[in-house]
Amino acid sequence: MIRGTTRLIAHLGYPTTTFKSPMIYNPWFQRRGIDAVVVPMGCKPEDYPDFLRLLFRLSNIHGALVTMPHKVTTLALADRVSVTARIAGAANGLRLAEDGALEADMFDGEGFVRGVLNKGQALQGRSALVVGCGGVGSAIAASLARVGVARLALYDPMGANAEALAGRIAAAYPGIVLETGANDPAGFDLVVNASPLGMNEGDPLPMDPERIDPATFVGEVVLKSEITPLLAAARARGCRYQIGTDMLFEQIPAYLEFFGFPKPSVAELRESAAISY
């Protein structure tokens, strides 16, 4: 029940039709008796800077979840930015500090990496390809570097995005081997689709699945369907894989802690969630 005392967490993005987070947060808030609610808010890119400033002037605003296409823009709109968000070049969480400053952090990479590790896939000393170097892809790449992958390939149709990300990662993790310019998945231990490809019917595949070795672990960030065309192709080749919502579940405990709420287990979140496709 939403009441006058309810703390509002905005879920900012455009379009909102693929949003899954409200179906995880809100059942858990209800289960725990927490007077808070996550509300999807569709905001077009040209309106976002002005809207964000007004949003955080509301007396009952508690924070915001940020998704495509606003993660990169958010970084420049915050007063304080975490080290993780700065390396990623994007942010997906916002909160008001006690002094009124807007603080930004990034949780996508942590959630993705936790999910992969929890499925038994080793990452330290291994090789990884990340396709898509926007907000989520940058965060995943930064977290893969942090956990010790030895070789990291970055690909984005806008080559400058991949080059800029490689530069930030090299400055923070000088020992890693970095590559840019190709989306060929052959020879990698882990390949990740961190692009929007797969959200819309008829999208091309982000990489050639025939080039993925059956021993390769395949990760996906698209949330519109559980098994995207890429994951269907990878599954047919015998690959282990991670669906997009796994990243969501794994990062939400960190998000909730950021917002000052109790930190649940992923199992508890899964038990109460009302995810549908």
List active site positions. 71
Q: Which of 88, 135, 123 is nearest to 219 (CA)?
A: 123
Based on the number of CB atoms within 10 Å of its own CB, is 200 exposed (0-12), middle (13-18) or buried (19 or more)?
exposed
Peptide bond into 229 cis (omega under 30): no
Cα 199 from Cα 67, distance rounded (Å):
14
Cα 105 from Cα 84, distance rounded (Å):
7
Cα 166 from Cα 163, distance rounded (Å):
5
CB 258 within 8 A of CB 52: no
Question: What are the residues whose beta carbons fall under 8 Å from the beta carbon of 21, sequence distance 6 or more?
Answer: 11, 38, 65, 248, 252
Tokens linked to 28: 């858990």
Q: Which of 37, 41, 40, 38 is nearest to 2 (CA)?
A: 37
